[in-house]
Amino acid sequence: MNPSAEQIDGLKELINIGVGRAASILNTMLSSHIVLQVPFVKLLTSDDFKNEIDYLGVEQLAAVELGFKGIFSGSSQLIFTTETAHKLVATLVGDNPVDEDIDAIKAGTLAEIGNIVLNGVMGSISNMLQLHFEYSVPNYLEGNAEALLKPSIDSPARTIILARTRFVVEKLHIDGDIALFFELIIFNRLLNAVNSLSSISRG
């Protein structure tokens, strides 16, 4: 797996377009100015990914998982530390919701945000590369890194696109990770599609 700098830039552009669309939807829904940024995109093997997420430690994480299938199939996750998840939910719905189960509010809020962001990213890939995906129902998960990510990285053939994402809500910096999981042969097809898009753009 040796993608060129141009291919990585193409993938980053697709993801940036997707999170930009997601930010627009969230701004409208929540009546709050939200900026989503993607500082970097990395392409990793399963082993590299395990090392990359070591900084998350063994603490509890919150994640939203969206499966997809079509010409390419795989899954995508939006991952937060629990502290970040609490901060994001508090920013969006207030610190002290009244007469509601805070766990249900947190799960529902993060699932909706994850659904919007992940659909934005996958929709960008779908639209720009003229592909069609079928999506599963978004699944909200909590647990440590190994428990949450193990099903997606067990296969040695997996290639992971890891995009660090920054939510900026009223000058509050909240970091999360978008991880897209592809089988290697499928990932190579994705790179070929990105090459075709780049050729059209240069033309």
Contact 108, 92 (CB under 8 A): no
Q: Is the pLDDT of residue 139 over 70?
A: yes
| 8: confidence class by pLDDT, cuts 50, 70, 90 | confident
What average pLDDT score do residues 15-32 get?
A: 85
Q: Residue 155: what pLDDT?
A: 63
pLDDT exceeds cutoff 50 at 27: yes
Residue with the bigger pLDDT between 198 and 200: it is 198
Least confident of 14-18, 70-74, 145-149, 164-168: 145-149
Residue ranges per structural domain of the chain: 5-202
- pLDDT category at 52 given cuts 50, 70, 90 is confident
Residue closest to 55 by CA, chosen among 38, 37, 75, 79: 79
Q: What is the pTM of this model?
A: 0.84
| Distances from the Cα of 98 to the Cα of 47, 61, 72, 89, 112, angstroms | 44, 25, 43, 14, 20
Pairing of strands 133-135, 139-143: unpaired
Residue appearing with tokens 């502290």: 83
Residue 185: the pLDDT is 74
Quick: pLDDT tens for 76-132.
999 888 888 888 888 777 666 555 566 788 888 889 989 999 999 999 888 888 888
- Residue 77 forms beta bridges with which residues? 65, 179
Distance CA 172, CA 112 (A): 20
- Give domain 5-202's CATH superfamily: CheC-like (3.40.1550.10)
The pLDDT-based confidence of 203 (bands split at 50, 70, 90) is very low
Q: What is the reported pLDDT for 121?
A: 92
